[in-house]
């Protein structure tokens, strides 16, 4: 599975932006697709995840209620709609994927993901 993120940009606090992740390759099986973000000098952190087949979702507390993750299997794409952006949302956003035989919960550790996109920069200013 290959991933390519897009949609980042320079925004003001309070604005909205949608990110896209194009998914190519074989997505047969139980895949989890997630968004992570990494601010300068900080670790890469989980933002939101979705199961490719069933559409179950999970969010980090910092974005819950503001961000929405979704996927379109027919278009082989995953999305992250970001509303009410804050300065602390500034980061490089990555899409990631992992195939899991039996999905009990959506992994939140970047170490568990095997496929990564190249990242897209989101900068939020006041």
Q: What is the pLDDT of residues 31-69, one digit of tens each?
A: 999 999 999 999 999 999 999 999 999 999 999 999 999
Name the more confident of 86 and 28.
Answer: 86
E strands in 1-126 = 2-6, 9-12, 17-24, 31-38, 44-51, 57-59, 67-72, 77-82, 91-99, 115-116, 120-125
Integer Cα distance of 79 and 72 in angstroms: 8
Indicate the pLDDT class of residue 28, thresholds 50, 70 and 90: confident
**C-alpha torsion sign, points 69, 72, 73, 77:** negative
Integer Cα distance of 123 and 88 in angstroms: 9
Q: What is the pLDDT of residues 74-125, one digit of tens each?
A: 999 999 999 999 999 999 999 999 999 888 899 999 999 999 999 999 999 9
């Amino acid at each position: 599975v290959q991933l390519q993120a897009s949609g980042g940009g320079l925004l003001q606090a309070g604005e909205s932006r949608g990110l896209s992740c194009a998914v190519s390759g074989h997505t047969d099986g139980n895949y989890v697709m997630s968004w992570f973000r990494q601010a300068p000098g900080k670790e890469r952190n989980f933002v939101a995840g979705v199961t490719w087949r069933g559409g179950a979702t999970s969010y980090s507390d910092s974005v819950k209620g503001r961000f929405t993750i979704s996927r379109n299997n027919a278009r082989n794409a995953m999305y992250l709609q970001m509303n009410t952006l804050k300065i602390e949302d500034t980061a490089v956003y990555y899409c990631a994927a992992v195939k899991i035989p039996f999905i009990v919960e959506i992994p939140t550790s970047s170490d568990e993901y095997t496929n990564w996109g190249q990242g897209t920069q989101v900068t939020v200013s006041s």
